[in-house]
Structure 1
């Protein structure tokens, strides 16, 4: 183990958890095990079911677009031991197979070790899979296995080994973990998992991204549900920008972000047409994008060749949501974007928006991460070229709760939410639009 890694683990674990305690900790075996040893749960965003017998089928989501979806799991057992679990899903943007502990587990002695399991991929051409481990209350972190898993399709059992450090960050609490292992899936697929264990021993295996630099390293979005449309959409946006320029109507305002910005083309379309179409507005929002994905797009031409009066940037909720990222890391990614936009649009005023609230209640874990990011990025404003605006109070009830009347899924605004956004932003945006260059 390198000196740097030892230092990191020392910070995470504290010296009390090395030495005799770590040496005494046995491996944690999740499979094979008696069926009752772990609470095995299969579910999607709307429903869950426990795999207590040989098989279980989860009812399809009620939304019209997902009613043809299917989700099922089955167990293979021998002599009272559950040996393997098969997960079979179709046309779901999120499904999960979770092995939950009936009593809290102290995983701190294992953070220098390895998560190991066997994976048999029968089909994953239109799907993705991610291995996850809980990192405290409301905190779960995963490693994307889509690329290698698609390559394993039809090749039988493959051994997977992931350093437990892949799931560790400063401030994470592994002292009382109830989810030592899960597989999150997307799209459609059929996979089996067996021989799952968490060991104290570090072993060679798959690498995971360096969480300290991931948010500032340009990358295309590599989720299963995005790989088919993400790059074509980027090219479409380049063409949309080109047509605006050639028509002599270059954009006076450009919005940069993720699915919430992309929503100006859907749920927010009517609001956009009333207020931003007259400004030849350009919205470059991509569902699922994190800071590194926006950085890639900016470095590949999305705002080159234009001189908008104002650029509106809101990004970060997928950094905190997809990987429970440390707020300082997300903030670093946003700062990198601020610098990139200023470099490419030196005459443009940048309006940096606070990340919108998510989750129903004020104590929602991911909302808390977003609020911590917002406190950090507020300091990026200089009052001249970069301006910060937090309109979150306009989206919330008086008690701090988030209503489904504004965000039906407690993340993405509906038409009413986009109207609230426009009205709350208007005084600042209008002032910036009227400011001479």
Structure 2
């Protein structure tokens, strides 16, 4: 899917002329935020130090959580990473708060330059439904753009695209999450280069999202369930293990 940059001329154009512009697909950097800029350069250094990584994870804070060592057991997640992904020299390119737009910016600015992973795992979209309030009609094609951009830069990798994870942030977010995942499942059905996996079933108990599988409700003060805890991340890793063995070994 071809993406367009927002220009001054477009800003002044009639609404009808902008009808096909999707800001969720526009490359939006966050280098004005010092902590984000530090993380950006940190990941570039990791990229350069590990050119033979067989797995690359691309995503937001949920992906970043693979490195979490909270000290409470339930939030000690890095051991799961060390067991399932470290043996492949995997790289974790997760950024707190990133949307599809910021991940596209990172890809455009060299996030995976010089790498040749056998498997790239993408988990993005949850933040689109937060402050930006980009719905499924914007988010699904934006995720498709992330995948296309990744494939362009890593033509020999297999892409394992994960559905947006379920959370407890309100009915609208849940509706958009399920609609986005349904659209992606349909779009990538039969693809030879992209495997789409919806992990929603891992987090559902008696028809509802199980808050006990998330870190956030146990924070002080508690926050809405969004980031899986050790058990939740273990379920993800075990579910993805057959794909890792097939494509990264």
TM bracket, shorter-chain basis: 0.7 to 0.9
Aligned to 1:346: 155
User: For the residues of structure 2 that align with 1:380 and 1:243, how far apart are their CA atoms?
Assistant: 35
Cα distance change, pair 210–413 in 1 and its aligned pair in 2 (3 A): farther
Aligned to 1:369: 176
Q: Does 1:263 align with 2:65?
A: yes
Larger radius of gyration: 1
1:235 to 18, 27, 41: 41
Q: Which stretch of structure 1 is more off in the superposition, 395-404 or 261-270?
A: 395-404
2:83 to 270, 274, 279: 274
Deviation at 1:3, TM superposition (A): 9.5
User: For the residues of structure 2 that align with 1:299 and 1:259, how far apart are their CA atoms?
Assistant: 20
Aligned to 1:254: 56
Cα distance change, pair 432–210 in 1 and its aligned pair in 2 (3 A): same
Deviation at 1:390, TM superposition (A): 0.9
Deviation at 1:277, TM superposition (A): 0.6
Q: How many aligned residue pairs are there?
A: 223
User: For the residues of structure 2 that align with 1:342 and 1:216, how far apart are their CA atoms?
Assistant: 16
Of Structure 1 and Structure 2, which has the larger fraction of its residues in helix? Answer: 2
Cα distance change, pair 283–210 in 1 and its aligned pair in 2 (3 A): farther
Q: Does 1:330 align with 2:151?
A: no
Q: Secondary structure at the match of 1:417?
A: helix
Contact 1:396-1:403 within 8 A present in 2 as well:
no
User: For the residues of structure 2 that align with 1:232 and 1:301, how far apart are their CA atoms?
Assistant: 15
What are structure 1's unaligned runs of at least 5 residues? Answer: 9-208
Correspondence list, 1:156-175, <5 A:
none
TM-score (norm 2): 0.82
User: For the residues of structure 2 that align with 1:252 and 1:389, how far apart are their CA atoms?
Assistant: 20
Q: Secondary structure at the match of 2:101?
A: helix
Contact 1:327-1:369 within 8 A present in 2 as well:
yes
User: For the residues of structure 2 that align with 1:3 and 1:420, how far apart are their CA atoms?
Assistant: 48
Deviation at 1:323, TM superposition (A): 2.4
Q: Secondary structure at the match of 2:226?
A: coil
Deviation string for 1:10-50 (max 9, x for gaps)? xxxxxxxxxxxxxxxxxxxxxxxxxxxxxxxxxxxxxxxxx
Of Structure 1 and Structure 2, which has the larger fraction of its residues in strand? Answer: 1
User: For the residues of structure 2 that align with 1:3 and 1:269, how far apart are their CA atoms?
Assistant: 49
Contact 2:168-2:211 within 8 A present in 1 as well:
no
User: For the residues of structure 2 that align with 1:3 and 1:304, how far apart are their CA atoms?
Assistant: 35
Correspondence list, 1:182-193, <5 A:
none
TM-score (norm 1): 0.48
Q: Does 1:314 align with 2:119?
A: no
Deviation at 1:407, TM superposition (A): 4.2
Q: Quick one: higher RCO (CA 8 Å, sep 6+), 1 or 2?
A: 2
Aligned to 1:292: 101
Cα distance change, pair 275–291 in 1 and its aligned pair in 2 (3 A): same
RMSD: 2.4
Q: Secondary structure at the match of 1:324?
A: coil
Deviation string for 1:348-401 (max 9, x for gaps)? 0000000000117xx722111111111111233243111101121012213223
User: For the residues of structure 2 that align with 1:271 and 1:421, how far apart are their CA atoms?
Assistant: 10
Contact 1:357-1:367 within 8 A present in 2 as well:
yes
Aligned to 2:205: 397
